[in-house]
Amino acid sequence: MKLARLLRDPYFTNRHRRILHVLRVALALVIAYAITEPFDIPHRGWALVSTVMVMGNLPHIGGVLDKGRQRLLGTLLGALWGLLLIVLPLPWPGLLPLGTLAGIAVATWATFAKRYGYGGLMFAISLLLVIGGGTPELDVALWRSLNVLLGTLIGIGVTMLVLPHKATDLLRFAMADNLDHMARLYHAHTSASAPVDLDTRSLLKACSKLLVKQRGLVDAIHREHRLTRGEQDDLISLQRRMFSTIELLLETHWNTRAGHERIDAMDGLRDQQHTLARAIGTLAFQVRTGRPIEVELIPFDLQRHADLANDAYSSDGRRLLSPSGYLWLNRELARLTGELIERLAGLERLPSRRLRKGARRHGLLAPHDTHETTESPRQGRPG
């Protein structure tokens, strides 16, 4: 029972997703072999090839579903077109290769530079498999198509049923890590002295990679029916803008000592910045543990600092614009954070009961956390 709970633990499957994916691929190949070998199915090697191709390097359900759907559709259409060319009484033998080329050309044109490119590729491969080397046989074409479909279905089934790993969970963990990195960067910037072990360049690079990673999960998560593409685009866009603002703050350099002194003289500014950093960290924690988003963000009040920012002059009498710009960047980061909190709080299918249960087992949440019972019934099936 304990082992069964561990294998369903999203934290466990995420941490060990590489080895678990290897085990799933191996199991799928064993199943495909066990089904095709005893019955001596002709051309059964294509079932094994299709199993590996549909699972590939995609360890999560959404990716395999998206790829498997394209493979199934491309295989069916390619095989049907090939069978049609074989069955129809063509008056001229040259029409067979011409029909094959025409089918591949149309599929390539229709899927060029689109997310259905893999389906177009499978159409071409399936069509060529059915047609063969120029002397097509109907039974060979049928067996080849059957093996491709069988291998695809086995790959999809094993991915969904055996130690499943969801792309939505991967998004939650990537988003939480990204927010946590940004909170650390911003806190270090606003502190009197940054932690000795804080590698700013490394964290900036990690944030960029996590944003790219989230972008690559959009189609897979959409296939899992948790979040729409538009919702994901909004979340990624807000994170990217937050990251850019923090980068600008980290790269802020003062041309004059007077500008720096004006910022230091703004009473309460550092407290506001530290409060914002803690809010971003709290948001990361709630996303990681699957809790409903309930972050209270105190508005970043800049009016209290307006006099020091607007009436700043250098020793030669020129007005200093740097204090105002610096304050605007902080306010912009607070505004973007507030907008992200609002968007996350409005996603009814983002909180996850599975993550909360796993978080309790790993000591991330207290055992008496009450969100399990107070969750709104409108949230539907838990993620």
Q: How far is the C-alpha of 354 from the C-alpha of 14, rounded, in Å? A: 13
Q: Is the pLDDT assigned to residue 282 strictly greater than 80? A: yes
Say which range, 21-25, 125-129, 364-368, has the weakest mean pLDDT.
Answer: 364-368
Least confident of 84-93, 209-218, 285-294, 306-315: 306-315
More confident residue, 185 or 191: 185
Answer whether residue 54 shows pLDDT above 90.
Answer: no
Q: Residue 266 — very low, low, confident or very high, per pLDDT cuts 50/70/90?
A: low
The pLDDT assigned to 307 comes to: 54
What pLDDT does 121 receive? 86
Better-scored residue on pLDDT, 136 or 70: 70
Q: CA torsion, points 234, 235, 241, 244, in degrees to nearest 10? A: -140
Q: Which residues contact 153 (CB under 8 A, 6 or more apart)?
A: 68, 72
Q: Is the dihedral of CA 194, 198, 202, 204 positive or negative?
A: negative
Is 77 within 8 Å of 123 (Cβ atoms)? yes
Q: How confident is the model at residue 134 (pLDDT cuts 50, 70, 90)?
A: low
Confidence of residue 137 (pLDDT cuts 50, 70, 90): low
Is 317 a residue whose pLDDT tops 50? no
State the Cα–Cα distance between residues 46 and 41, nearest whole angstrom.
10
Q: What is the mean pLDDT of residues 296-300?
A: 81
- Residue 327's pLDDT band, with cuts at 50, 70 and 90, is confident
pLDDT score of 215 = 92
pLDDT at 256: 46
- Rounded to an integer, the average pLDDT of 313-325 is 49
In percent, the amount of the chain with pLDDT more than 90 equals 22
pLDDT over 70 (residue 142): yes
pLDDT at 184 over 80: yes
Residues linked to residue 319 through DSSP beta bridges, in sequence order = 313
Output the CA torsion sign for 109, 57, 355, 2.
positive
Q: Can you give the pLDDT at residue 367? A: 64
Q: What pLDDT sits at residue 343?
A: 93
- Average pLDDT over all residues of the chain: 78
Give yes or no for residue 238 having a pLDDT over 80.
yes
